[in-house]
Structure 1
Amino acid sequence: MTSITDPNISDGFTSAMEEIHNKQLKTCGEIIDATTELCQSHRHFVKSALDTCLKKCKDDEMLFETIQTFKRDLVQQNASLKEKQHAVSEIISEIQQKEMQKDDIIQKIEKLKEEQAKRKDLIYSQHKANKDRLRNLQKARVVFQDHLGMEIRTILGKTQLVKGEKLQFVFRNINPSDQNSAYVVTLGIKEDGSYQIVSSDPVLECLSILESRLQETNNLPAFLANVRKEFISRARC
């Protein structure tokens, strides 16, 4: 057995130990280099991940702000839409009211047209009746005024009962003892165009009967002739 005190053995052991130590140092260096490389790679990965997260957070914040902006815009648009809907409802209601007013006005216009047509017919009828009365008055004037001394006067009534223009017929040559004595009957026209006896002087009891006949026949000369006869009869009593 070789003694450990043998210098060759000691050198060999030392050499072996140094070789092992060098291998271990190399292995440790390789481990350290690998670790350093892994650390650097990890730092790069962490930094990249952090940058990605920060960018993602920033994008999310922008997206959130955009969503909030959209929400505010949506609220404003809904409010504006409600206002417009309310305004449209008011306009529709106003249009409906105007349509109702239009229909009402059209009905009133049609009614006025009908009333105007009736008035026109009434005016025409009254005008025709007045022309007939004028002809009757002219005939009466020829018969009574020219031949019998009757005078026709136009008077204005002073009381509400006889308000308006009236015709007064003054008869003379009635009383044989006083040819100039005046016998008077006052005649008017009602709103419906019929004749109305206002008064007579002296009073004739049969005036209402004579008035009814005049309204039925519309014959003024005959009426005046009958009135004259009644005045003559009264004068001779």
Structure 2
Amino acid sequence: MSSIADPNLSDTFTSKMEEIHNKRLKTFGEIIDATSELCQSHKHFVKSATDLCSKKCKDDEMLFETIQTFKKDLEQKNAVFKEKRRAISEVKSEVQQKEMQKEDIIQKIERLKEEYVERKKLIDTQNKANKDRLRNLGKARLVFQEHLGLEIRTISGKTQLVKGEKLQFVFRNINPSDQDSAYVVTMGIKADGSYEIVSSDPALECLPVLESRLQETNNLPAFLANIRKEFIAQARC
């Protein structure tokens, strides 16, 4: 009880309370300073993060625009590539067609060469046959003209029956009662080189048989001799 009555106790209590209050104020000040520093640090962090995000967004936008540009350029290049590939395909197809046409032309040329060779052989054969026939005609002319009064004429036929250049063999000395009476056989040479008997005057029924035999033997003198025999036989009937 004596301590409560101590007059210095109030001052001591007040001093202690002030000390405690000052400590707390100091602590609160330190907390406020720390909080302020944290706020400033947070503001700097937020600003830095915001700036970084803004820069990142701008970079991303530029990157997106670049990607879009590359994409459009790639699409254009793909379109050009497709067009070139189509043009190449058309050129390739045209080249293939020309190659096929070239092969056809080469085959046609080869066939024409073969046909030319065959025709040349045929023409050479016909020319040789015609030369042989001309020699036979020459021989027959000499024999019959000199010994039997045969006359050979060259005529140009304009009728349907006698068309083109033909030969007429005119026999005389056939009819004993009229030695000058003419007995005529008209003949020519076909395109293939064979003989063609056109007509006889007077007409002979056996003329087709004699013509067939002439085609087989190619012996013109014998044919003319048989014709003369048939004329003589007809004249004596």
Partner Cα separation in structure 1 for residue 38 and residue 145 of structure 2: 151
Which deviations, in whole Å up to 9, do the C-alpha atoms of 1:151-195 show, x marking residues without a partner?
222223324454332211222333344333322111122333221
Mean Cα displacement is larger for which, 100-109 or 55-64?
100-109
**1:102 equivalenced with 2:102 (yes/no):** yes
User: Per the alignment, do residues 16 and 48 of structure 1 end up closer, same or farther by CA in structure 2, a change over 3 Å counting?
Assistant: same
In structure 2, relative to structure 1, the CA distance for the partners of 1:194 and 1:29 (3 Å cut) is: same
Range moving further from structure 2, 207-216 or 68-77: 68-77
CA–CA separation in structure 2 for the residues paired with 1:235 and 1:45 = 150
TM (norm. structure 1) is 0.78
Q: SS state of the match for residue 187, structure 1?
A: strand
Point out the more displaced range, 202-211 or 78-87: 78-87
Amino acid at match of 2:219: N
Q: Classify the secondary structure of the residue corresponding to 2:124.
A: helix
Query: Aligned-pair distance for 1:14?
Result: 9.0
Matches of 1:118 and 1:186, distance apart in 2: 32
Q: Separation in 1 of the partners of 2:161 and 2:220?
A: 22
Q: Distance in 1 between matches of 2:87 and 2:67?
A: 30
Greater CA drift, 174-183 or 222-231: 174-183
Larger CA deviation: 47-56 vs 171-180: 171-180
Whether 2:167 is the aligned partner of 1:170: answer no
Q: CA deviation at 1:146?
A: 3.9
Q: Which amino acid aligns with 2:104?
A: D
Query: What code does the residue aligned with 2:200 have?
Result: S
Deviation at 1:63, TM superposition (A): 1.7
* 2: CA distance, partners of 1:91 / 1:55: 53
Structure 1 equivalent of residue 141 of structure 2: 141
**Aligned equivalents of 1:22, 1:155: Cα separation in 2:** 164
CA distance in 1, matches of 2:31, 2:222: 157
What is the aligned length?
235
Letter matched to residue 126 of structure 1: Q
1:70 is matched with which residue?
70
Could you list the runs of 5+ residues in structure 2 that have no partner in the other structure? none
1:112 aligns with 2:133: no
- The share of aligned pairs that are identical, in percent, is 79
How many angstroms apart in 1 are the aligned matches of 2:54 and 2:200? 123
Task: Give the corresponding residue for 1:79.
Answer: 79
Structure 2 Cα separation of the partners of residues 227 and 197 of structure 1: 11
Q: Structure 1: 5+ residue runs without aligned partners?
A: none
Please say which of residues 23-32 and 89-98 is displaced more in the overlay. Answer: 23-32
Q: CA deviation at 1:84?
A: 3.8
- For 1:198, the aligned partner's letter is V
RMSD of Structure 2 on Structure 1 (CA) = 3.3
**After the TM superposition, which of the residue ranges 13-22 and 87-96 deviates more from structure 2?**
13-22
Aligned AA for 1:209?
V
Tell me how far apart the structure 2 counterparts of residues 10 and 220 of structure 1 sit (CA, whole Å).
Answer: 182
Deviation at 1:57, TM superposition (A): 0.6
Counterpart of 1:186 in structure 2 is: 186
